[in-house]
Amino acid sequence: MEIFGKHIFGTDATDFTNLPILEQVEWIKKRTSQKNDDIINEFLANIPANNNKNCLNCGNISETIPTEVATDTKQIDNGAPGKRNSTKRQRNVKGA
């Protein structure tokens, strides 16, 4: 198996594919010159042994969403209808 120019064989390759995704990312960053997370994630997504593993950008998305965000139902008060929104810039009228 070649990982960004580093070749591993036999039990070393098996051990690597058995690692959780985040540990695979750490392994790659520590032992190769590749540091780009997007490239590493794309590489790991193409390893068949990783198809059923969860990681930052793959797997079951419902398991990666924090419960607080998924269940937050708090409403935001945008003010009364017709009330001026204080976040808008005031228009400058020249000559007035």
Task: Count the alpha carbons within 13 Å of 34 in the hemisphere toward its beta carbon.
Answer: 19
Q: Rounded CA gap, 19 and 21, in Å?
A: 6
pLDDT (average), residues 45-73:
59
* Residues 20-36 as b or e (16 or more Cβ within 10 Å = b): ebeebbebbeeeeebee
Q: What is the pLDDT of residues 20-32, one digit of tens each?
A: 999 999 999 999 9
Asked if the model's pLDDT at residue 67 lies above 60, the reply is no
Identify the pLDDT of residue 35: 94
| Phi-psi label, residue 39: left if phi above 0, alpha if psi -120 to 50, beta otherwise | alpha
